[in-house]
A = this chain, B = another copy of it.
Amino acid sequence: MKILFLGDVVGNVGIQVIRDYLSVAKDKYQPNLIIANGENAAINGKGITKKAAMSLYDLGIDILTMGNHVWDQNEIYDLFVSHPNRIIRPANYPKSSPGQSYVTIKCGVKNVTIINISGQTFMDSLNCPFHAIDEILEQIPKDHYVVVDFHAEATSEKLAMGHYLTGRVTAVLGTHTHVQTSDAQILNKQTAYITDVGMVGCSSGVLGMSQDSVIKRFTTKLPVKLEIIQNTDSWQFSAVLIETESNSIKAKSIHQILERS
């Protein structure tokens, strides 16, 4: 089985990149399942709207994962009701939070469970992600392929999670920093890992935002409004392709994809 995982999709440009490039990627990589982190898919880059989610589903994304921006748009509450099996939020939010934190999808005769968790280091104050994932893994049949989107800032926490889950899941894929790392690898010949998949969106600017607004904020310390770049001339498509073993939940390979205009 082949699983294509796209990093944080940012704004309209991000959706446009998927519209333009995903069919190419599908032809090339023949994925059986496509997952994308959608926490920045809203038009302003904060959270996700119904319209953005519908576009992404229509374009072929099977499952959307979220992150620290999950609650930025109120429409997320509707999405969790209307599409409970196609969008998830980090598991270490309080148990009473809206939405689910993992979902199982059939891929032919195989089951794939996708789990979303958030880091604690340099992030909002959430419960321990290591214990949160342990709790979920106890509830999942051992023959499920498991893909974990670990939405986190610190490389140490992400690598620690990769090693912590080695042999227990198919893949641990980092998101949130919007910059792809060069370290895709199979940990201990069992679990696919990358520290950050990177971003789908505008490749100029700062993480999909206008560089002028970001620089002004850093240099003046004023609450400058960050403006999302609407220009689709310079784009990037950041993803990983994971190929699984057929007789075990192990990953056979992980391949980094970084297409830029």
Contact = CB atoms under 8 A, between A and B. Distances in A.
Identify which of A160, A221, A223 gathers the most chain B CB atoms within 10 Å of its CB: A221
Interface string A194-233: 0110100000011101010011001111110000000000
Interface in A157-184: 157, 159-160, 163-164, 177-183
A195 B179 contact: yes
A104 interface: no
Contact of A94 (B215, B220, B223): B220
B180 A155 contact: no
Given A182-B180, A182-B182, A164 B219 contact: yes
Nearest to A163: B211
A82 interface: no
A72 to B, nearest CB: 7
Interface in A121-163: 121-122, 124-128, 130-131, 153-157, 159-160, 163
Nearest to A164: B215
A221 B97 contact: yes
Contact of A155 (B160, B163, B177): B177
Interface residues of A, number: 50
> How many copies of this chain does one complex carry?
4
B124 A122 contact: no
Interface in A208-260: 209, 211, 214-215, 218-223, 256, 258
Contact of A219 (B124, B130, B183, B220): B130
A78 to B, nearest CB: 15
A153 to B, nearest CB: 7
Contact of A125 (B72, B121, B179): B121
Given A94-B128, A94-B219, A155-B178, 19 more contacts: A71-B223, A93-B221, A94-B221, A97-B222, A122-B153, A125-B221, A127-B128, A128-B218, A128-B219, A130-B219, A153-B153, A155-B177, A155-B207, A159-B207, A163-B205, A163-B211, A164-B215, A180-B181, A182-B198
